[in-house]
């Protein structure tokens, strides 16, 4: 694999494969895709490698059923686990995916002891706890992708509602990934203009509601979870880490007193760079946002409570 940097994506399903494809196109690292299903990671890797002839990147993508090829990865993205089926609650996923994420984390630990872990598997907040507990790694090196995706969905609806460019929307969504997420409307702008100056409160609340149920809306339409936006969101986090971009992005981070929450993974804005989470950014929230965040924390604690560990 030459002297290129290495990123591993565990799980060759739709989200993992999309993430791997986005990373290959960015061309700063070789990509390893690991999946237990024989033929699947090899086939997806072959397909993405053949696209390089058309799109013009040099990254090599390797598919594997084991972790040997992944050894020495700088970042490992964990997408492995069962996706949500229609009508299935996130809690139904907890026990099954806990076993999968435990096994994956143990194998990543052995192959890439210096890696940074980006968890994408659902229920996201609970799986971050699993990965942290199993690895024993510092909280800066184990965190989850949820806020970028939720923010992307919120931003999309805002761009459509205002008729303004998606490039000028700056949104912020905090809290657990799911119905309990907390869009911070006070910190959401289009071209620097506060959202509330552009859109009536009732329309904002409708967009907030649609964002919170965003994953479910896609499951109902597709019969399976989304993958283009989640895969791209995970790749954006890898960019920030490997390229040391110091991006301010909402991520699922382990809080120890920030926002008045202790010992829990929650979605908050962080500075993401080569060390992983370089710092947690504390926004000034109004009373209703603080109350919503506390409610979100309670909901996340309930799901984490289902874990066997």
The DSSP annotation for 168-212 comes to GEE--EEBSSSTT-EE-GGG-EETTEEHHHHS-HHHHHHHHHHHH
Per the annotation, the verdict on 129 as an active-site residue is no
Between helix 90-111 and helix 124-135 the angle, nearest 10°, is 30
Distance CA 275, CA 140 (A): 7
3-state SS class at 245: coil
Distance CA 142, CA 31 (A): 19
CB 82 within 8 Å of CB 96? yes
3-state SS class at 273: strand
Distance CA 126, CA 64 (A): 27
Query: Which of 70, 177, 212, 299 is an active site residue?
Result: 177
**Within 10 Å of residue 131's Cβ, how many Cβ atoms?**
26
Segments of 21-147 assigned E as strands? 29-34, 61-64, 75-78, 116-119, 142-144
Q: Tokens 């979605």 sit at which residue?
A: 267
CB 6 within 8 Å of CB 70? yes
Catalytic residue numbers read: 177
């Amino acid at each position: 694999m030459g002297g290129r940097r290495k990123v591993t994506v565990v799980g060759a399903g739709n989200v993992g494969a999309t993430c791997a494809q986005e990373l290959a196109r960015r061309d700063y690292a070789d990509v390893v895709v690991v999946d237990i299903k024989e033929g699947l990671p090899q086939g997806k890797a072959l397909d993405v490698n053949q696209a390089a002839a058309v799109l013009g990147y040099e990254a090599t993508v390797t598919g594997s059923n084991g972790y040997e090829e992944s050894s020495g990865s700088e970042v490992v993205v964990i997408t492995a686990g069962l996706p949500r089926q229609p009508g299935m609650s996130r809690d139904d996923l907890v026990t099954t995916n806990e076993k999968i994420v435990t096994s994956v984390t143990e194998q990543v630990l052995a192959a890439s002891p210096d890696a940074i872990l980006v968890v994408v598997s659902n229920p996201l907040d609970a799986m971050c706890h699993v990965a942290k507990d199993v690895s024993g790694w510092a909280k800066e090196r184990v965190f989850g992708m949820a806020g970028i995706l939720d923010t992307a969905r919120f931003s999309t609806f805002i761009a459509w509602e205002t008729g303004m460019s998606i490039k000028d929307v700056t949104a912020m969504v905090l809290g657990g990934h799911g119905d309990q997420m907390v869009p911070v409307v006070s910190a959401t702008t289009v071209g620097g203009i506060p959202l509330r100056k552009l859109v009536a409160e009732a329309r904002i609340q409708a967009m907030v509601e649609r964002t919170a149920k965003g994953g479910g809306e896609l499951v109902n339409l597709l019969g399976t979870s989304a993958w283009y936006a989640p895969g791209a969101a995970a790749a954006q986090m890898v960019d920030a880490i490997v390229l040391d971009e110091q991006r301010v992005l909402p991520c699922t981070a382990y809080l120890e007193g920030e926002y008045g929450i202790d010992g829990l993974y929650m979605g908050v804005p962080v500075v993401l760079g080569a060390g992983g989470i370089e710092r947690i950014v504390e926004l000034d929230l109004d009373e209703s946002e603080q109350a919503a965040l506390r409610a979100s924390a309670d909901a996340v604690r309930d799901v984490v409570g289902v874990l066997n560990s």
